[in-house]
A and B are shown apart, each in its own frame.
Chain A
Amino acid sequence: MSHLLEVKNLGKTYRPRKAWPWSQKSVAIEPISFHIDAGETLAVMGETGSGKSTLAKIIAGVDNPSSGELWLNGQKLHNQHYQQRCNNIRMIFQDSENSLNTHLTLRKQLEEPLKFNTDLTAQERNEKVDIALRRVGMLTEHGEFYPHMLSSGQKQRVCIARAIILEPQIVVADEALVGLDPSVRAQIINLMLDLQQDMGISYILVTHSPQIVKHIADKILILYRGKMIVFDKTDIVLSDDQQPYVHQLLHDHLNKQIKFKSDKAKKIAD
């Protein structure tokens, strides 16, 4: 068992509302198989409605697959076994504004996954929260804050802290970088890269930004109407331009670069 996560013939169909024997099931994802290794980033790309969010949800355990299996480190992941799933795979959502509970302090929110999934004492949980907050570049005092007191970038950091607090092996990020301000987005990208280096996390990144994919992804998976049409290493996908759909999705946007020559400008200090 060499791969961290192996997805075997994973498929998802939705039953129609009126389930007559002759009515057709709508297919969200046709059976697909792929794998990721530790410390790798997999980018899932596709148009709206291509099933990329469904795939992310199934991997994170939010949704159940209709067919197929997930294997993590040679161990089968069971659909309803949330503790096993949470300890290994966590998810970050698109809208950090709405994914935090406005009634709880950050410390309580970050404590919750620990309460449900570990047997730590209150003291140990507190220490863990402090470590997680510091790791995403925030202060331990922020633990007593409520979400409305934070900026959007800090909220996104808390979401990442909540995802990594159980020290998972895989983090699924569903459009986590969309709608952030440019400076915040660059900070979050740096943070995600730092965490990957320090903790060896693998990311499954659902995105439609070709630039981000090119920069941080090791492998690319492209879905088209539920079918997997490409699954390969980033540089191979980027150098090969045989498929028109890949071309439309990636190359067209990457080639359109902005001329930028600021020779006189000094380099920005870190």
Chain B
Amino acid sequence: MQLLDIRNLTVEMKTPHGIVRVLDKVNLQLGKGEIHSLVGESGSGKSLLAKAIVGFANPNWEVTADRLWWNGQDLLAMNTKQRRAVTGRDMAMIFQDPYSYLDPNSTIEQQIVEAIPEGDVRGTFMRRRVDRKTRVKRLLHRVGIRDHESVIDSYPFELSQGVAQKVSIAIAIAHRPRLLIADEPTTAMEPSTKLQIHRLLARLAASQEMSVLLISQDLTSILPETKQLTLLYCGQLMETGPAEEVINHPAHPYTDSMLRMSLQTQQELPHKARLPTLPGAIPTLRHMPIGCRLGPRCPYAQKQCVKAPLATQKQQRVFHCHFPLLELES
């Protein structure tokens, strides 16, 4: 059974200019210990999807779904208290800029201790104290900080970006969650630091039976261990399927152009040659095109595209396009 099962999740936002559908019927399935990458440009609603999963409440949003199941339980049917209990026990989230959400006023040890569940430490007062300290050290070792002595008593500003992100991962995994949502954890990081964080996430997923939902901006900066890949554009699901297949044989024009735009795949491009890009810019919330929202920028768009395409399924892959690049055997 899937750990997380989302069917037709729709999020509508109330704005002064009327209701805007920021997520339009998104499906997502996540198995145990799986790494799932969610890729989309800014404004694609990928962070919003993560917020909908953890139940980040905002009175302006309306979240509806045919199914939002976590481990067989319907999250939407729960009341706030129950939902918080489930989210707090099973899920954790890390964000883009570690400095901005680590507490600048307390040391790393205090912050990690706070995240260790009370039930984990037992015994007398002194025993609990020692126990907590060893747990903090163990957590830091687990996220790849060998030199725990210098980190444990420092404040966030004294740490480098990579170490700070590792500390935030340590805080996130302190209560042994079953799902870790990483919202662009490596954007604007140096390549070598990026690699370290990626390796760490992959290792944690493999050793702890923890699923990872990795949210990323760039299709080429996803983890090599990614099993499933989902592409969003302006709140619409473009393509989803096994990562290797999607990258090697993209079905949707958006996936294809995302790959072509990246310098990583264009190794044989001559020096200083112009890169292929999608024309135009990402539409704003107020001016979403009707039908397929990629329409105005899509090189293959035709008249039909003013109607939103239905899902096409081919084995494990699903894509929404009238003119897929993949030949369909009828």
The answer on a CB contact under 8 Å between A181 and B217 is yes
**Interface extent on B, as a size class?**
35 or more
Of B257, B262, B269, B275, most buried by chain A (CB within 10 Å of CB) is B275
- Please pick, from A194, A215, A266, A270, the residue contacting B263 in the complex, using a CB distance under 8 A: A215
Within 8 Å CB of A179, what residues of B?
187-188
The yes or no answer to B135 lying at the interface (CB within 8 A) is: no
Within 8 Å CB of B266, what residues of A?
215
Within 8 Å CB of A258, what residues of B?
220, 247, 259, 264-265
How many angstroms between the C-alpha atoms of A48 and B249 in the bound complex? 37
B263 → A minimal CB distance (Å): 4
Within 8 Å CB of A253, what residues of B?
191, 195
B36 → A minimal CB distance (Å): 18
The yes or no answer to B260 lying at the interface (CB within 8 A) is: yes
The yes or no answer to A190 lying at the interface (CB within 8 A) is: yes
Q: Which stretch (A20-28, A123-131, A206-214) binds chain B?
A: A206-214
The yes or no answer to A189 lying at the interface (CB within 8 A) is: yes
The answer on a CB contact under 8 Å between A257 and B265 is yes
The answer on a CB contact under 8 Å between B250 and A183 is no
The answer on a CB contact under 8 Å between A212 and B263 is yes
Per-position 1/0 for B31-43, Cβ under 8 A of A: 0000000000110
Residues A264 and B325 in contact in the complex (CB < 8 Å), given A182-B258, A211-B264: yes
- Please pick, from A47, A184, A234, the residue contacting B281 in the complex, using a CB distance under 8 A: A184
The yes or no answer to A248 lying at the interface (CB within 8 A) is: yes
The answer on a CB contact under 8 Å between B260 and A268 is yes
A96 → B minimal CB distance (Å): 13
Within 8 Å CB of B192, what residues of A?
47, 248-249, 252
The yes or no answer to B160 lying at the interface (CB within 8 A) is: yes
How many angstroms between the C-alpha atoms of A211 and B41 in the bound complex? 20
A103 → B minimal CB distance (Å): 21
The yes or no answer to A154 lying at the interface (CB within 8 A) is: yes
Per-position 1/0 for B251-292, Cβ under 8 A of A: 001001111111111110101101111100110100000000
How many angstroms between the C-alpha atoms of A259 and B271 in the bound complex? 20
Of B220, B263, B272, B299, most buried by chain A (CB within 10 Å of CB) is B263
B248 → A minimal CB distance (Å): 6
- Please pick, from B260, B271, B282, B325, the residue contacting A215 in the complex, using a CB distance under 8 A: B271
Within 8 Å CB of A48, what residues of B?
160-161, 190
The yes or no answer to B172 lying at the interface (CB within 8 A) is: no
Within 8 Å CB of A186, what residues of B?
261-262, 275-277
Interface positions of A from 122 to 168, Cβ below 8 Å from B: 151-154
Within 8 Å CB of A215, what residues of B?
263, 266, 269, 271-272
Residues A190 and B281 in contact in the complex (CB < 8 Å), given A48-B190, A179-B187, A183-B261: no
The yes or no answer to B120 lying at the interface (CB within 8 A) is: no
The yes or no answer to A199 lying at the interface (CB within 8 A) is: no
How many angstroms between the C-alpha atoms of A258 and B258 in the bound complex? 13
Within 8 Å CB of B265, what residues of A?
257-258, 260
Interface positions of A from 221 to 270, Cβ below 8 Å from B: 234, 248-249, 252-253, 257-262, 264-270
The yes or no answer to B12 lying at the interface (CB within 8 A) is: no
The answer on a CB contact under 8 Å between B325 and A268 is no
The answer on a CB contact under 8 Å between B248 and A260 is yes
- Please pick, from A183, A216, A248, A249, the residue contacting B278 in the complex, using a CB distance under 8 A: A183
The yes or no answer to A178 lying at the interface (CB within 8 A) is: yes
The yes or no answer to B326 lying at the interface (CB within 8 A) is: yes
The yes or no answer to B219 lying at the interface (CB within 8 A) is: yes
The yes or no answer to B327 lying at the interface (CB within 8 A) is: yes
The answer on a CB contact under 8 Å between B299 and A269 is yes
Within 8 Å CB of B195, what residues of A?
253
How many angstroms between the C-alpha atoms of A215 and B266 in the bound complex? 10
The yes or no answer to B218 lying at the interface (CB within 8 A) is: yes
Please name the residue on chain B nearest to A234 by beta carbon. B271
The yes or no answer to A38 lying at the interface (CB within 8 A) is: no
The answer on a CB contact under 8 Å between A190 and B272 is no
Of A185, A265, A266, most buried by chain B (CB within 10 Å of CB) is A265
A42 → B minimal CB distance (Å): 14
The answer on a CB contact under 8 Å between B299 and A268 is yes
The answer on a CB contact under 8 Å between B256 and A265 is yes
How many angstroms between the C-alpha atoms of A187 and B277 in the bound complex? 6
How many angstroms between the C-alpha atoms of A270 and B279 in the bound complex? 8
Within 8 Å CB of A265, what residues of B?
250, 256, 325
Q: Which 9 A-B pairs have the closest CB atoms?
A: A211-B263, A181-B41, A186-B277, A186-B261, A186-B275, A260-B265, A265-B325, A151-B281, A253-B191
19 inter-chain pairs at a CB distance below 8 angstroms, sorted by A residue, are A48-B161, A151-B282, A152-B42, A182-B219, A183-B261, A183-B277, A193-B274, A215-B269, A216-B272, A234-B271, A253-B191, A257-B267, A258-B247, A262-B249, A262-B259, A265-B325, A266-B300, A266-B325, A268-B257
